[in-house]
Amino acid sequence: MHGRAVAANPNVKLIAVFDPKAARAKALARKYGARVSCNMQEVLDDPRVDAVHVLTPPDHHIKTAVASLKAGKHVLVEKPVAWRANDIKRLQSAAEKANRVCMPAHNYIYNPSLQRAKRLISEGKLGRVASLWVLYNIFHPERVAAIYGGVLRAVCVHHAYSLLYLLGRPSRLTATASKVHYRELTCEDQAMIVCQMPNGVIANLWCSFAAKDLTSDPWTVVYKVLGTEGGLSYSWNEAQYEDDRGPGWGLPCYVESFRNEVDYFINRCVLGGEPPLSTLADALDSLRIIEAAERASSNKAQVETIQYDT
Ligand SMILES: NC(=O)c1ccc[n+]([C@@H]2O[C@H](COP(=O)([O-])OP(=O)(O)OC[C@H]3O[C@@H](n4cnc5c(N)ncnc54)[C@H](O)[C@@H]3O)[C@@H](O)[C@H]2O)c1
């Protein structure tokens, strides 16, 4: 997805790919006319490299992103930016010291429909917002789910940064999670977080890897915002085409979220000096929400107050 997005942006070119699994690096590099690097240092030492996309599993994000910033590169780092919220502080100070952009790859909000949603909400077109609903469902066999782990960490971070972007910071939440479909894995395969905003808005965030929702095959992603004078609804089903080769299942809302995010990173942030739509501070607060949800769900859905740094 990142390879396609970079190839589609006329201001950038993929220069080098590093992956400890060399065959993977080779396949990607060949596709986009880049070279394969034997290690990360080789990428960082290359003066032609201005920006690094950190697409490793989450436990390598911080180390790779900090090293890239120290080498003077701009960084786009996949979600969740870190496993622990506090680790993001290291990234914030590295980005500040290096005076380089470090943008969380919070791709879902780079869809124009969500940007319109935010504008309509802030213009008051919906009146007083009463509730937000984010429904996410995709059926994952255990071998796929094993790459990602429990849905609270792996997926609900999309819900959390979307909530911060659209409506701001919730003050407290409760959450519940369960395992319906996995046999071997011990982590949750579905979860629900209910957040209360200081102004009374209730945000309902649902995520599941457990169910086959054939009514919107293969993937359900629905956002709804309801207000006293109107509502808005946005779904990834708004356009779909046959795409057996993947990896975007012919869902342009998904495929284009990467293109929009990469365009924003390059054109608006790196070249234009603008901040991203979702910052490292938002990534940190998203993880504060997830950590509070984990505490709540392991504590019989107790209500948790969320402590923010910002
Ligand atoms: N934004 C989205 O919609 C979205 C979707 C899927 C995955 N992701 C995120 O993207 C990241 C990667 O997920 P994936 O599904 O591609 O996982 P994956 O396991 O398929 O790929 C990760 C790759 O990183 C390589 N790798 C491991 N350690 C490395 C290192 N130190 N340096 C360089 N490469 C290293 C692995 O060999 C592997 O090829 C994760 O953070 C995941 O959460 C985001």
Domains of the chain (ranges plus CATH)?
2-106 (3.40.50.720), 108-305 (3.30.360.10)
Centre of ligand 1 from the C-alpha of residue 57, in Å: 4
Q: Which atom of ligand 1 is closest in space to residue 63's alpha carbon?
A: 31
CB-CB neighbours of 307 under 10 Å = 10
Residues 6+ apart with CB under 8 A from 242: 250
For 46, 47, 212, the CA distances from 41, given in Å and listed in that order, are 9, 12, 43
State how far the Cα of 138 lies from the Cα of 144, in Å rounded to an integer: 11
Give pLDDT, residue 148.
Answer: 86
Nearest CA to ligand 1 atom 16: 55
pLDDT > 70? residue 179: yes
State how far the Cα of 224 lies from the Cα of 201, in Å rounded to an integer: 13
pLDDT > 90? residue 94: yes
Read off the pLDDT band of 129 (50, 70, 90).
Answer: very high
Nearest CA to ligand 1 atom 33: 19
Centre of ligand 1 from the C-alpha of residue 302, in Å: 33
Locate 67 and state its tokens.
Answer: 């090293």
Nearest CA to ligand 1 atom 3: 107
Read off the pLDDT band of 245 (50, 70, 90).
Answer: confident
Nearest CA to ligand 1 atom 30: 56
In the predicted model, what is the mean pLDDT of residues 231-252? Answer: 86
In the predicted model, what is the mean pLDDT of residues 96-110? Answer: 98
CB-CB neighbours of 217 under 10 Å = 12
Residue 202 gets which letter from DSSP?
E
Mutational pocket test of ligand 1: of 21, 40, 55, 147, the residue with most ligand atoms within 8 Å of the beta carbon:
55
Centre of ligand 1 from the C-alpha of residue 173, in Å: 30
Residues 6+ apart with CB under 8 A from 244: none
Residues 6+ apart with CB under 8 A from 263: 5, 9
Q: pTM for the complete prediction?
A: 0.96
Give pLDDT, residue 310.
Answer: 67
Give pLDDT, residue 242.
Answer: 86
Q: Which atom of ligand 1 is closest in space to residue 105's alpha carbon?
A: 1
In the predicted model, what is the mean pLDDT of residues 131-156? Answer: 92
Q: N- to C-terminal Cα distance for the chain?
A: 32
Centre of ligand 1 from the C-alpha of residue 55, in Å: 5
Residue listed under structure tokens 């003077």: 72
pLDDT in tens, 140-151: 989 988 888 899
What residues line ligand 1, using a CB cutoff of 6 Å? 18-21, 24, 40, 55-58, 60, 64, 78-79, 105, 107, 147
Centre of ligand 1 from the C-alpha of residue 18, in Å: 12
Residues 6+ apart with CB under 8 A from 215: none
Centre of ligand 1 from the C-alpha of residue 65, in Å: 13
Mutational pocket test of ligand 1: of 56, 66, 286, the residue with most ligand atoms within 8 Å of the beta carbon:
56
Q: How far does CA 241 lie from the centroid of its chain? A: 23
pLDDT in tens, 10-65: 999 999 999 999 999 999 999 999 999 999 999 999 999 999 999 999 999 999 99
Read off the pLDDT band of 301 (50, 70, 90).
Answer: confident
In the predicted model, what is the mean pLDDT of residues 275-302? Answer: 95
State how far the Cα of 248 lies from the Cα of 1, in Å rounded to an integer: 8
